[in-house]
Structure 1
Amino acid sequence: MWSWVEVLSWNVETEMEPPCGRSFMQVLCEKYSPENFPYRRGPGAGVHVPPGPQVSPMKDRLNLPSILVLNSCGISHAGDESEIAAFCSHVSELDLSGNKLDNWQEVSKIVSNVPQLEFLNLSSNPLQASILERECAGTFSGIRKLVLNNCKVSWETVHTLLLELPELEELFLCLNDYENVVSSPGCFHSLKLLHITDNNLQDWSDICKLGTMFPCLHTLVLANNNILAIDDLAGSLARLFPNLRSISLHKSGINSWEDIEKLNTLPMLEEVRLLGIPLVEPYSTEERRKLTIARYLRHIIILHT
């Protein structure tokens, strides 16, 4: 009896595997083979296994889930696009973090053949040197949640993606060594949540640029950036962040109660996270809460200090 991986090798990829890594389809077929992942017999949810050039012993339907996790598998390229389309037409979430994808064209070949895709995690892929063309970025248009942590992608690449992702609601840009924020010529009203933690942002003027680009933000996570002060020149906070409900300033460098008090000008703010900032370190948890809410953030519902 042939193994399922051997059967698929007849029609997935006949060429030799490139020495730099493995294909998306090769890893998919190995991980979700019947030996490694249960499949469903008869009618029901699943993906039909296309017959190979020989009579395939595999006549069942593979119960391939709609959420695929293929992290840290050595994937460097897409593989046969027709096979991706046949197997992944129902997939809505895809985790490709920690692989060897270093070319946006290869990522696009995968994404363009997953028409229902809404969540994509590309964290820790070496994409920093690859140029993303707008035509290529257009294949990402249906994505609502995009994770680009530790990809070291440039702001130019981020802007190109934003222009082509009209439904993007959540964006993760952590661990990308950003020292500043580069403004985009446009603004993007669909984005509700931005994680930009563990970078090297220091100046509040860069945070203001985020407000200009994303005027409908509900959640802004700035933890582990060495932000030293909060500016509210001419009431800019309320104007730039009119919908912000939650902000995290964990482990920032803020050391002034006056700066904390400026957060009161945010009209929709309900939650503030201030763990690990120098200002609250001398106090106990209960003292922090009483001092912060009673004196400086009176309308906050949830406080983490």
Structure 2
Amino acid sequence: MRSITQAVNEKYSDDDEDTSGSGFILFVRKSSPRKRLPSTLILDHCEIDSVGDEQFLSSTLHEVNELDLAHNQISKWTEINKLISCLPKLSFLNLSYNLLGSANVNAPQILHPSLKKLVLNRVGIQWNDLVPYLSLTPNLEELHLSFNQIEISDQEKDNETIQVFPKIATLHFDGNRVENRDHLRWISTKFPSLTSLVLCDCPLWTLRWTSPAAREAQGRNMSGSSLASSSSSTGSLSASFCSGDGKTSPCCAPFLERDCTEPIGKESTDSILFPCLRSISLNNSMFDCWEEIDQIRNWPSLAELRMQSCPLFQRMTEHERREMTIARLPNLRRLNGGGDISAKEREEAERNFLRRFHDSEVKPARYQELLDMHGHVAPFAKVKLAPPKVANVSVRYGEQSWNEKNLSLYMTMKELKEKFSFELGLPASKLRLWHSDHQQPMLMRFPAKQLYSYNVKDGDEILIDEKLG
């Protein structure tokens, strides 16, 4: 184990290199030790467990504004207090993967106005223990709290003196216990100026329900009570797969039938979440119904969405997922990275959405909006791309003629010749077959070639004659 002081000396010292193996020695005046370190220090994976000489840090690191201490062994918050007090210009601090936990958290009693980005991924801290630190960083703009198993308690949600952090615009909250709409409201209230939110790998299963119990109670009041009775132990009313077509996805029907005075997709002004949010990542969430995704359009500033690997998408191709999402969310400008959604792609997605739900028993609310916008959209013509397997042809041999119905086009010319040989009582080796599509007859020369390769089709004629000699 070592201190930050030791790690800095080892990595950034100006000690002379070993010259014992050189052929001559040049004596010069010894240079003074480095007094000015880089403004960005990378000290990850250095087995650091303490600060060390505070006086040295204050005098040597006072110009440092970015410090990465990820993957070290710091376990005491008192060491973090010492560090912060020694670095008055620090704007970025990464403490990820240190075993800090929530025990004995005592924040320093001085403000740290220079800190703008704080990274605390996998340090084991809980929210209530972090608040004192956040209160002393009034200019913090970006906060990373991923994979700390942070739980949002009911007491915190109902607390009348909710502490707000209006300067924080970017929040990474991956892998924490964000499950339902109340949890999202908690985040929106704590960070009212959020423009970017990352919620990957969270057990988030609903954007419209406040809890499993509330959803289950709602289901009991719906006419589709049979759906509620078949729900899982978690209270989910959703089917195992939702296509959103009103036929194979009964999970959408109860929400459409709810007793509500406001139109679907609309919220009262005081219940709007994330008024400033422009970008959100919801990868590996637990959504299993398109009605959940429809709620995203209620976030007034949202333009960019990342959402992959949800149960809802399991039985859909990537193209279908993208097309359905774009059609349902008119506010999106970018989906899953890449360039902006073009006007052409959006129009195609919306028109295909109308085709998809044209014959559905239960249509999404978005259907009527798009119908008013694009009008009736004719369904795609059903085109059979597979070649026909049989054909009805006429056969003529001399003065005899007859019709062959459902003649297999996968039969070879040799097999057809043997068939006619049996019917005419003539040896197959003596027969020749000609194919005529009412133009110049063509001799069928290749015994192993199947009839569809000769372009035999309904209405054509097979002519039979005998070889001479």
So what's the TM-score if we normalise by structure 2? 0.53
After superposition, give the CA deviation of every residue in 1:152-202 in whole Å (9 maximum; x if it has no partner).
Answer: 112112211221111011101111012336457211110001101022332
Q: Does 1:147 align with 2:179?
A: no
Number of aligned pairs?
A: 265
After superposition, give the CA deviation of every residue in 1:114-160 in whole Å (9 maximum; x if it has no partner).
Answer: 111000001111111433334x1635442110001000112112211
Instruction: Name the residue aligned to 1:253.
Output: 286
Change (3 A) 1:62 1:222: same
Instruction: Name the residue aligned to 2:309.
Output: 276
Q: What letter matches 1:304 in structure 2?
A: N
Structure 1 residue 58, shift from structure 2 partner: 4.0
Report the structure number with the largest CA radius of gyration.
2
Instruction: Name the residue aligned to 2:88.
Output: 115
Alpha-carbon contact 2:273-2:299 (below 8 Å) kept? no
Structure 1 residue 220, shift from structure 2 partner: 0.9
Q: Does 1:218 align with 2:199?
A: no
Q: Does 1:264 align with 2:297?
A: yes
Q: What letter matches 1:89 in structure 2?
A: H
CA distance in 1, matches of 2:311, 2:317: 13
CA distance in 1, matches of 2:121, 2:109: 18
CA RMSD of aligned residues (A): 2.4
Q: 2:186 aligns with which of 185, 209, 212?
A: 209
Alpha-carbon contact 1:118-1:144 (below 8 Å) kept? yes
User: Secondary structure of 1:138's partner?
Assistant: coil
CA distance in 1, matches of 2:47, 2:270: 44
Alpha-carbon contact 2:35-2:60 (below 8 Å) kept? no
Alpha-carbon contact 1:67-1:91 (below 8 Å) kept? yes
Structure 1 residue 87, shift from structure 2 partner: 1.1
Change (3 A) 1:153 1:189: same
Instruction: Name the residue aligned to 1:196.
Output: 173
Instruction: Name the residue aligned to 1:172.
Output: 144
The within-5 A match list for 1:287-302 is 287-294=320-327, 296-302=328-334
CA distance in 2, matches of 1:297, 1:35: 61
Change (3 A) 1:236 1:223: farther
**Once structures 1 and 2 are overlaid, which stretch shifts more, 273-282 or 188-197?**
273-282
Structure 1 residue 300, shift from structure 2 partner: 0.3
Q: What letter matches 2:200 in structure 1?
A: A
User: Secondary structure of 2:67's partner?
Assistant: strand
The within-5 A match list for 1:62-81 is 64-81=37-54
Alpha-carbon contact 1:193-1:218 (below 8 Å) kept? yes
Instruction: Name the residue aligned to 2:57.
Output: 84
After superposition, give the CA deviation of every residue in 1:34-71 in whole Å (9 maximum; x if it has no partner).
Answer: 3699xxxxxxxxxxxxxxxxxx9441545621110111
Change (3 A) 1:202 1:217: same
Instruction: Name the residue aligned to 1:53.
Output: none
Q: Does 1:185 align with 2:162?
A: yes
The within-5 A match list for 1:21-40 is 21-34=1-14
User: Secondary structure of 1:187's partner?
Assistant: coil
So what's the TM-score if we normalise by structure 1? 0.80
CA distance in 2, matches of 1:248, 1:237: 24
Structure 1 residue 203, shift from structure 2 partner: 2.6
Residue segments in structure 1 that go unaligned for 5+ positions in a row:
1-20, 38-55
After superposition, give the CA deviation of every residue in 1:190-228 in whole Å (9 maximum; x if it has no partner).
Answer: 000110102233233112101011000001111001111
Structure 1 residue 98, shift from structure 2 partner: 1.3
Alpha-carbon contact 1:132-1:157 (below 8 Å) kept? yes
CA distance in 1, matches of 2:35, 2:136: 33
Structure 1's consecutive aligned runs of 4 or more residues displaced over 4 angstroms after TM superposition are 181-184
Identity of aligned residues (%): 34
Alpha-carbon contact 2:102-2:129 (below 8 Å) kept? no
